[in-house]
Amino acid sequence: MSLWTSQQLAEATGGTASAPFEVNGVAFDSREIGPGDLFLALKGEETDGHLFIEKAFGLGAAGVITAKPVNHPHILVADTTAALDALGVAARARTAAKIAGVTGSVGKTGTKEALFAALDRFAPGRAHRSVKSYNNHVGVPLSLSRMPAATRFGVFEMGMNHAGELAGLTQIVRPHVAIVTAIAPAHQEYFSSLEAIADAKGEIFAGLEPGGTAIIPFDSPYRDRLIAAAKPYAANIVTFGLGEGADVRAVEAMRAPHGGTMINAKLPDAELFFTVALPGAHWVSNAMAVIAAVDAMGGDLAQAGLALGDMAGLPGRGARHTIAAGEGTALLIDESYNANPASMTATIGQLGEEAAGRRIVILGAMRELGGDTDAFHAAIAKPIEAAKVDFALLVGREMGALASALEGRVDFAHVPDASTAIDRLPGLIGAGDAILIKGSNAIGLSRVVAALTSPDGTD
């Protein structure tokens, strides 16, 4: 069966179909178009998707949603952005799937991927999730529009950097289960306090379907604030974490012999023993959120445990590479996609647990931290010292505060950008080293990862 027919697209968007056609996928980036896809010609701040319609059809597009008539199968609408929203709403309305929404200052993409893996293992081919970090006002309706009508489980990431944004997204997703992973200083430039961030994250609960479940981090200092936000909308409130009193709790967590963590988890009506393949205390917390959601959505806990044991790190979010170094190999941990003070501290702490000849960090600046940006950067010196880091390569202007804090404590170099960081790589890494690369996406440290994992490496 096709994902959408032209008649369904026209009905969903209020547009007019030029001819009958069917599509099997949806994309607004012409570079992602494949045979049989629908191209959405969105008009953005920097470019206009209508300029790429011919390219999309050259790549095999089966149809386009457009605000201008074209000589290809199309749905003509007044506003393509409004049409995308309408298509997302229609996709949500036509499915009987159990839907989960995931937000949080840290951990939301990893938790979304882990929850999808757990549900897909239980119902192979019948689970759907937002890809990459498509979690904003464009990514969320796009991810919904890609969901087949026969989907059994849907998992959607929702992000924000201003108050009110999640309130709109959650009304489109209409989750049966809403998860807040954690509250931390991310996008603090746009908020007066962490309490304000917690309130903005709590907006996700307003979209819960009747009988829905709110899943809240028990160990967070903002737990009670989130519970208060959920109470008007949630039939069930479930807490997760490590502390005594959490509804879904990691009673025991021990480092596994070959990496990861072995966990004994207790739920209100069940107990589960499993291993999380991805290392770090933050993944123990993420796993508890996943287990709570699987239970609330009617999934299988045993299958969820197996899925968590099989999970590998995502590119830019914990992927581990073995790279050529000196006369041997080194471990590279790729956390290059994003960074904030909480995630930076957690991943540096995990590096400290790695058996290595030397520990090296390549850290990019953290963005959107507002007036406290220098203090947040300088504070990273403490986890660097605690992890016994041997050398730190600091990238970006904002890292000047951390450079000053490390002076005389840890060997480091401070460079202005990713290109200069790449220039510093020769001779930096030796056999047996462990290297963590982490920074805000805008710094471009993925280029450093690419330079180190080039085809002449061992990965």
Contact 108, 160 (CB under 8 A): no
- Do 126 and 256 sit in the same domain of this protein? yes
Angle between helices 301-310 and 108-122 (to 10 degrees): 120
- Do 216 and 136 sit in the same domain of this protein? yes
Which CATH number belongs to the domain containing residue 431 in this structure?
3.90.190.20
Tell me the residue range of the domain where 361 lies: 319-452
Which CATH number belongs to the domain containing residue 11 in this structure?
3.40.1390.10
- Do 212 and 243 sit in the same domain of this protein? yes
Residue 90 lies in a domain: no
- 74 sits in which H/E element: strand 74-76
Residue 385 lies in a domain: yes
Residue 251 lies in a domain: yes
Q: Rounded to two decimals, what is the model's pTM?
A: 0.85
* pLDDT tier for residue 257 given thresholds of 50, 70 and 90: confident
What tokens does 124 get?
A: 């192979």
pLDDT tens-digit profile of 377-415? 999 999 999 999 999 999 999 999 999 999 999 999 999
Q: What is the mean pLDDT of residues 92-108?
A: 96
Contact 205, 229 (CB under 8 A): yes
- Write down the pLDDT at residue 459: 46
Residue 274 lies in a domain: yes
> 109-113, 130-134, 340-344, 400-404: which has the minimum mean pLDDT?
130-134
Give CA 13 to chain center in angstroms: 29
Tally of domains within the chain: 3
